[in-house]
């Protein structure tokens, strides 16, 4: 069965430079070549799911500038239905300034522009696309009331709601209780719970806390340490695939795409987390956000032949 996914969220143009290290406050660093790439957590997740074979509808906002036109063309090229992306004459398209250091880690500043004008009404206009999906993917580069409206509509139609709480911000209980699966990384988990998380037992305790805060399940994405699932029955770790990272940008978005497509195709949750881990790992092996997102063939190859970090 082909997965049907709806994504409500951001589209950004990523302005990217590699540098030996991420500059400290007050420091200037000479970097490498300047790259312009399609990004934005919402659009990345939409493209990730489409490359893995899903039918995807994207709900968002761009400006009427050249960046916006290019982002729409990229979505179309990836096979994402972008008819529900509003072209907003009163705002600039979102832009992300990204520095990627030699270790593959990055730092990102987002100028949200049109993304922060995505309204609950825009989402209400997308109700039939949300209702016909098996899974809706949400992030936090859009206004919180818009994210909440999308989750409410999805819940009303029994559509699985996955929220990637990035960039992190405190979340109200009335939003968390609408979420089936929450997918924070380590720093997002720390911000959401208010706890330090370093050791395995601290990570596990934080995952339980996220469930107590309202989410039905939490899947913590832990980079090289894999992913930790916390659900009613307990917790389980899923090892990361062993790859050599070049750029971690959009690894979390690729995880979301893999997880959603597997669930949409009816795979059991543990297998869907493996798909997420595989998609996330592959995305770290290439530069950029959308250019790094894997094809279905690459994903299946890694799932069959890849080694995990502890094996």
Residues in contact with ligand RIB, shown as a per-residue x/- string from 157 to 196 under the rule CB under 6 A: ----------------------------------------
Question: Which three-class secondary structure state does DSSP give residue 274?
Answer: helix
Residues 155-181 as b/e (b if ≥16 CB within 10 A, e otherwise) read beeebbbbbbbbeeeebeeebbebbbb
Looking at the Cβ atoms of 40 and 104, the one nearer to ligand RIB is: 40
Q: Which stretch binds ligand RIB (CB under 6 A): 73-81, 123-131, 250-258, 296-304?
A: 250-258
The yes or no reply on residue 253 touching ligand RIB (CB under 6 A) is yes
**Strand pairing class (94-101; 81-88):** unpaired
Q: Give CA–CA dist 74/81, Å, rounded.
A: 11
Piece of 7-15, 56-64, 155-163, 205-213 that binds ligand RIB (CB under 6 A): 7-15
Under DSSP, the state recorded for 182 is: E
Does position 257 bind ligand RIB by CB under 6 A? no
Q: SS3 of 56, please? A: strand
Among 4, 15, 39, 183, binds ligand RIB (CB under 6 A): 39
Q: Does 14 bind ligand RIB (CB under 6 A)?
A: yes
Q: Is residue 249 a contact residue for ligand RIB (CB under 6 A)?
A: yes
Report the nearest approach of ligand RIB to the CB of residue 154 (Å). Answer: 21
**111, exposed or middle or buried, with CB in 10 Å at 0-12, 13-18, 19+?**
middle
Which of 9, 40, 258, 264 binds ligand RIB (CB under 6 A)? It is 40
The single residue among 4, 44, 112, 193 that binds ligand RIB, judged by CB under 6 A, is: 44
Which residues are the active-site residues?
253
* Of 58, 167, 160, residue with least CA distance to 106: 167
Q: In angstroms, how far is CA 2 from the centroid of its own chain?
A: 20
| Residue recorded with tokens 């899923």 | 238
Give Cα 93 distance to the centre of its chain.
Answer: 19
Interface stretch with ligand RIB, choices 144-152, 229-237, 249-257, 258-266 (CB under 6 A):
249-257
- Is 149 a binding residue for ligand RIB by CB under 6 A? The answer is no
Paired tokens of 275: 């798909």
Residue 141 in the binding site for ligand RIB (CB under 6 A): yes
**Continuous segment of H or E residues that includes residue 210:** helix 200-212
Taking each continuous run of H as one helix and of E as one strand, the counts in the chain are 11, 13
Considering only residues 90 to 119 of the shown chain, the ones binding ligand RIB according to CB under 6 A are 96, 108, 110
Token pair in block for residue 13: 């143009």
Q: What are phi and psi of 70, to 5 degrees?
A: -65, -40
Least distance CB 220 / ligand RIB (angstroms)? 16
**Contact region for ligand RIB (CB under 6 A) — 36-44, 67-75, 209-217, 276-284?**
36-44
CB of 1 to ligand RIB, least distance (A): 28
Contact set with ligand RIB (CB under 6 A):
10, 12, 14, 39-41, 44, 96, 108, 110, 141, 249-250, 252-253, 289
């Amino acid at each position: 069965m082909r997965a049907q996914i709806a994504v409500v969220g951001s589209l950004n143009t990523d302005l990217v430079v590699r540098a030996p290290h991420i500059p400290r406050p007050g420091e200037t660093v000479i970097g490498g070549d300047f790259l312009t790439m399609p990004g934005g957590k919402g659009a990345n997740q939409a493209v990730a799911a489409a490359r893995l074979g899903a039918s995807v509808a994207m709900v968002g906002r761009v400006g009427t500038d050249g960046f916006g036109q290019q982002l729409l063309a990229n979505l179309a090229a990836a096979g994402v239905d972008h008819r529900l992306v509003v072209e907003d004459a009163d705002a600039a398209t979102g832009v992300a300034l990204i520095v990627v250091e030699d270790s593959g880690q990055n730092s990102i500043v987002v100028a949200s522009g049109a993304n922060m004008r995505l309204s609950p009404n825009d989402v209400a206009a997308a109700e039939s696309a949300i209702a016909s999906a098996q899974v809706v993917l949400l992030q936090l580069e859009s206004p919180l009331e818009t994210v909440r409206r999308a989750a409410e509509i999805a819940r009303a139609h029994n559509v699985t709601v996955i929220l990637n709480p990035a960039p992190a911000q405190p979340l109200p209980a009335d939003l968390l209780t609408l979420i089936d699966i929450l997918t924070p990384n380590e720093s997002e988990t720390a911000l959401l719970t208010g706890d330090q998380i370093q050791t395995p037992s601290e990570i596990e305790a934080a995952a339980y806390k996220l469930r107590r805060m309202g989410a039905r399940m939490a899947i913590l994405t832990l980079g090289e340490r894999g992913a930790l699932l916390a659900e009613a029955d307990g917790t389980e770790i899923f090892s990361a695939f062993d790859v050599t990272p070049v750029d971690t940008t959009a690894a979390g978005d690729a995880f979301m795409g893999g997880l959603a497509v597997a669930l949409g195709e009816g795979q059991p949750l543990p297998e869907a987390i493996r798909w997420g881990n595989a998609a996330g790992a592959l995305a770290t092996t290439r530069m950029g956000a959308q250019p790094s997102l894997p094809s279905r063939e690459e994903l299946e190859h890694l799932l069959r032949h890849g080694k995990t970090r502890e094996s």
